[in-house]
Structure 1
């Protein structure tokens, strides 16, 4: 997954982070431990043990690129205990800033962002209120951004906005031929067909800021084995005008938004190890 240059650059992005451990007994430098944990995360390693197992499977050449400690003519990797000890001690904001700098240099650029919020279970802030988390994830890179300014929005309207939902539904009651149709490959034993209609006719009276166009999306799914057909309808709005985003682009962005549902949150301190947009929680659950 990583090139040789990317492996060498990972530990370097943590070189300015002060090691919170006592000097006595340190066998592995902090930047090496964090670099290996960062390398393991996008490979699907979401826990301390799996990160240590991933590191143990690295060859000598890969270990040299991560700048691991050399003992008896061999490069050695940090243990599960060392990885856990370092990750729980490093301040998450400092870790996130270092990773964002690495991502700017080596990561993919995103054309759209997905935004979602969660309320953490059994987690209270300093005002004794439940902790709320807002995540912004890039469609292409899967980067988890702390914040993104000057961004346009796609917004799927649900039942908690009944007036807005009704106004959009009325507009598309007799929608006719769709503006764009997408048929996905028959993966996982089903055929998915998505149709979208877009309109600017309701922009002037919708009670929502900066509306560029409204849309209706139909998702038709046919089970190849049983022949059973299901149909879902989604209504929404976006701040992008029809000149800025075609019907095809609005459909792509709406579909990409659901990638944020694969993002995990944790509250182990509460360290969320977000590497190149793959937020991998190390424990805890959200509702």
Structure 2
């Protein structure tokens, strides 16, 4: 797809002009393109946990003038992109998350999602795929939260774990309490354990304290509180190591590309570029892009030629 120049695979003077790139990409069959790129990346991550979340592109529009929304999957920890799919809007993620995960081998993996997807049906679907889950429960599951509240998880917990972090002008403490042997009346058949996370944030400048708690369920039978707290925090890999990089380094939210499949295609390319860099141990994305542009990283050019 991309061929290296004679001197440097990443040399800027070897790139075709914009109109040529647009014409070539406009002829791409998106399904095959998407499948080949992510299949190529999929074997490079050893992570057993996978985060799925959606993002709206602020500047892009589809043919009906609606903002483009894309659902993406990324591994925890090493932040390797595993797949993405366009959706109509945030609410329609529910219809598209299963086809997205069907395109990925999730057997033996732990899937984390936001509260929108924390349903019995989706939990049963994941278990049918031989995958596990960690689900947060928020206001959209009020009846279930009421039943979880009746469990008195904190008082009946058998495992507890805490973390403390400082940064961005605040100090955060998170504590997770874990309970097993759930009663039948909870009415969530695949759940093996229930948990509650208490978070306390102190704003250093003002001294203001903010407290919140989140309930959750997991199909992991033998996980302790420390692992579940790690998985809960690991879910934000998709925000911190994918969406943030696409916004800041690739200036994604300012992209006005809007015709046909181009917005989705460009998201896939950004994800795959990040995945390629990480696959080769280049964790500083912006620095690696500069090295590539100035012809200082010929090794990456070789791998681009193999995509």
Shorter-chain TM-score above 0.5: yes
- 1:206 deviates by 1.8
Counterpart of 1:232 (choices 207, 212, 217) is 212
- 1:139 deviates by 1.4
Say if 1:138 and 1:144, in contact at 8 Å, map to a contact too: yes
Counterpart of 1:183 (choices 164, 171, 181) is 164
> Unaligned regions of 5+ residues in structure 1, if any?
1-29, 36-59, 70-74, 126-130, 279-287
- 1:101 deviates by 3.2
Mapped pair 1:110 → 2:47: yes
Larger radius of gyration: 1
Counterpart of 1:247 (choices 195, 205, 225) is 225
Higher relative contact order (CA 8 A, sep 6+): 2
Matched residues, number: 208
Structure 1 or 2: more helix by fraction = 2
Provide the residue aligned with 1:200 in structure 2. 180
1:124/1:228 Cα in 2 relative to 1: closer, same or farther (>3 Å)?
Answer: same
Provide the residue aligned with 1:31 in structure 2. 2
After superposition, the C-alpha distances for 1:10-35 in whole angstroms (9 at most, x for unaligned) are xxxxxxxxxxxxxxxxxxxx333xx9
> Unaligned regions of 5+ residues in structure 2, if any?
84-99, 107-129, 247-251, 276-307
After superposition, the C-alpha distances for 1:140-173 in whole angstroms (9 at most, x for unaligned) are 3241334244221111111221121111122236
Q: Secondary structure at the match of 1:179?
A: strand
TM-score normalised by L of structure 2: 0.56
Whole-angstrom distance in 2 between the partners of 1:124 and 1:78? 28
1:267/1:135 Cα in 2 relative to 1: closer, same or farther (>3 Å)?
Answer: farther
Whole-angstrom distance in 2 between the partners of 1:132 and 1:230? 31
Counterpart of 2:34 (choices 86, 96, 105) is 96
Whole-angstrom distance in 2 between the partners of 1:132 and 1:225? 36
TM-score normalised by L of structure 1: 0.60
- 1:254 deviates by 1.2
Counterpart of 1:218 (choices 198, 203, 211) is 198
Mapped pair 1:256 → 2:234: yes
Provide the residue aligned with 2:302 in structure 1. none
- 1:201 deviates by 3.9
Provide the residue aligned with 1:275 in structure 2. 272
1:152/1:174 Cα in 2 relative to 1: closer, same or farther (>3 Å)?
Answer: closer
Provide the residue aligned with 1:151 in structure 2. 131
Aligned CA RMSD, in angstroms, stands at 3.6
Q: Secondary structure at the match of 1:85?
A: helix
Provide the residue aligned with 1:64 in structure 2. 8
